Structure 1
Amino acid sequence: MTETEILAAVQQFSKSKMGDDETGHGFDHIQRVVGLADRLVQQYPEADRVLTVTAAYLHDVIDEKLVADTAQASKEVRYFLAQQSFTTDQIETIFLIMDNMSYHKTLDGTAKPLPLEGKIVQDADRLDAIGAIGISRAIYFGGHFGEKIYDPAIQPRTEMTHAEYRNLNNETIINHFYEKLLTLKDLMNTEAAKKMAEHRQQVMLDFLAEYKAEWNAKA
């Protein structure tokens, strides 16, 4: 199979799994992460583009917050990749990326070091979590799960565990910016992503300032 044929098959598989998502992690998100990862990988020729783009397409397919049976989902992905002629080592690299790039892994300290391809995909995923798109996704996700939008009496949580991070009863949508989204700029791996994150960070800061001014009838 050619590179184009492989990636077309991976795209279709991802779409079949994530096309119906209603949490802000749907196929539109996948496509943006792929686009960002493909932009970033062009600046790092030592990275394997096929592995990078494949991991970007599949990064949410086995995510615990989106999939009821992660073991079964992982089994399906492994079978699919083998059918596309990925080697055992390539499949293990893709799973290393998928299993260790999530933000919650940084909270419990269980994340394994990512290869360059994984760092690029992680950066792309984090870039799509901030800026104007990040604002809309945060509101969409919080609304889907019935989160409170804002309550000045509820302070942002600090030094969360994995369990606390997943407990949406203790979070507001606005606090999520302080608890996670505003921290992502400084967690970018590549210099290219760090530069891209600067503008998106300012978009969020401007939004929060305006939101609170309007909330307090000051604007």
Structure 2
Amino acid sequence: MSIVEETKGLIREKFYGEGSGHDWEHIRRVYQTSLQLLERERDPGVNKEVVELAALLHDIDDWKFNGGDDAAGPEAAGRWLKSRHIGEQMIDHVCRIISRLSFKGAGVPTPMQTLEGKIVQDADRLDAIGAVGIARAFAYGGFKKRAMFDPNILPQMHHSAEEYKQKQSTTVNHFFEKLFLLKDRMNTEAGKALAEERQQFMILYLNQFFEESGEQDSWHAQKLRMFKK
């Protein structure tokens, strides 16, 4: 059995049925989207196996579930790959991608140095927006016992990773603090095109949300109009 298939089995078993929106289905989608972006990039120099392993292992020990430790994920991924006797160069590449993958606040750049990393980062961010992204946002908000919406609580544009981790907000604020920002942080042309479509769907959704809740004149509804084409 290949290391990719072994890793699929490990991650499927670990995350199947997880309830915060970071389940096996999320990881499977990131894996599939990574392969789609890889195909559209058509760069013969890209290491497909690195892309596959980074996509499968990117949430193996995410900081959101381990008390905020950024190093835990790359370390867990490294231990798994070492146990399967993978070469140090590949392990280092996969772990560097995982360590730099996550969004860490509006004011915190998270650039990727390799095309493999850019592809996986785009795939992960694409799963955070659009219809699936909306579902995941509310699933995670419920998991964290966050209010869905409060017109008196405004979004915050976090300037550090620590601030982003520590501040609690509403799920609707999460759209303004993160999800609407991802479109302009895509790395690949294919990722940018897909993100544009998903951005427009989120705008339509929140517009309907504000109409149904009678909050068309709230700060949030007014801010939303700035994102419309």
Aligned to 2:148: 149
Alpha-carbon separation, structure 1, partners of 2:153 and 2:127: 26
Aligned to 1:82: 82
Aligned to 2:48: 49
Aligned to 1:139: 138
Alpha-carbon separation, structure 2, partners of 1:150 and 1:108: 25
Moved more, 69-78 or 139-148: 69-78
Alpha-carbon separation, structure 1, partners of 2:105 and 2:15: 22
Of all paired residues, the percent bearing the same amino acid is: 36
| Correspondence for 2:11 among 11, 14, 19 | 14
Q: Deviations over 1:79-136 (max 9, x none)?
A: 3213434210000000000001110177445x46431101000000000000000000
Q: Secondary structure at the match of 1:42?
A: helix
Q: Deviations over 1:14-66 (max 9, x none)?
A: 22332353211111100000010010111233311111011000001132112
**CA 1:106–1:9 in 2, change beyond 3 Å: closer, same or farther?**
farther
Aligned to 2:226: none
Q: Secondary structure at the match of 2:20?
A: coil
- Ranges in structure 2 where 5+ consecutive residues have no aligned partner: 217-229
User: How many angstroms does 1:72 deviate by?
Assistant: 6.5
- Ranges in structure 1 where 5+ consecutive residues have no aligned partner: none
| Correspondence for 1:182 among 172, 180, 183 | 180
Structure 1 position 25 matched with structure 2 position 22: yes
**CA 1:105–1:17 in 2, change beyond 3 Å: closer, same or farther?**
farther
| Correspondence for 2:212 among 207, 211, 214 | 214
Alpha-carbon separation, structure 1, partners of 2:15 and 2:53: 14
Alpha-carbon separation, structure 2, partners of 1:32 and 1:73: 19
Work out whether residues 101 and 114 of structure 1, in 8 Å CA contact, stay in contact via their aligned partners in 2. Answer: no
User: How many angstroms does 1:67 deviate by?
Assistant: 3.3
RMSD: 2.2
Work out whether residues 63 and 70 of structure 1, in 8 Å CA contact, stay in contact via their aligned partners in 2. Answer: yes
Work out whether residues 129 and 199 of structure 2, in 8 Å CA contact, stay in contact via their aligned partners in 1. Answer: yes
Work out whether residues 100 and 114 of structure 1, in 8 Å CA contact, stay in contact via their aligned partners in 2. Answer: no
Structure 1 length as normaliser, TM-score?
Answer: 0.88
Q: How many residues align?
A: 213
User: How many angstroms does 1:163 deviate by?
Assistant: 2.7
1:84-163 residue pairs with structure 2 within 5 A?
Answer: 84-104=84-104, 107-108=107-108, 111=110, 113-163=112-162
